[in-house]
Amino acid sequence: MKEDKILLVGQAPSRNRRPALDASIPGSASCRLLAMLGITRDEYMERFARVNLLDYWPGALASGKGDKFPKAEAKKAAKRILAHYQYPWKILCVGHRVGECFLPKMRVKYYDWMICVSNFPPAVRDIAIIPHTSGLNRYWNEPGNVKLAENFLRKKVLFNV
């Protein structure tokens, strides 16, 4: 069993400006991620580095369901992250839109380590994507989807088996 260095990448801080994916608020997206990982908050905080693509909350969508996502700015941030977190870091993107900032849209899929070609050393690295863990994401209403995520996170992310 080998433990990799994993960087969790989220979209942006919450409206309340909490640190990136810190899992301190019950019911938050990061708490749902913590529950699927099946570890304590202390283990989570020690085991994973955490960053957001954006360092500010971009505001709510006009519909009130979800947040805005300035993709061009987020893609630039993804390049900075690739340059900063070099080998042996693996990157776990929390959300489809985050994953699209690192990988071409046609390659984005959930629950698999994929190769990301980068202009920064190393030229190739592992990136995986999980659905955004927001309570607004109806994906999580299906118990089978939660089980898929738990299996991937516990086996392929925590312990790389």
Higher pLDDT, 86 or 72: 72
How does DSSP classify residue 85? Answer: S
Predicted confidence (pLDDT) per residue in 29-40, tens digit: 888 899 999 999
Query: Which domains does the chain possess?
Result: 5-157 (3.40.470.10)
Tokens of 137: 């994401």
Bridge partners of 51, per DSSP, are 9
Q: Is 120 a residue whose pLDDT tops 70?
A: no
Res 20 pLDDT > 90: no
* C-alpha of 131 from chain center: 8
Beta strands in 95-123 (DSSP E): 114-117
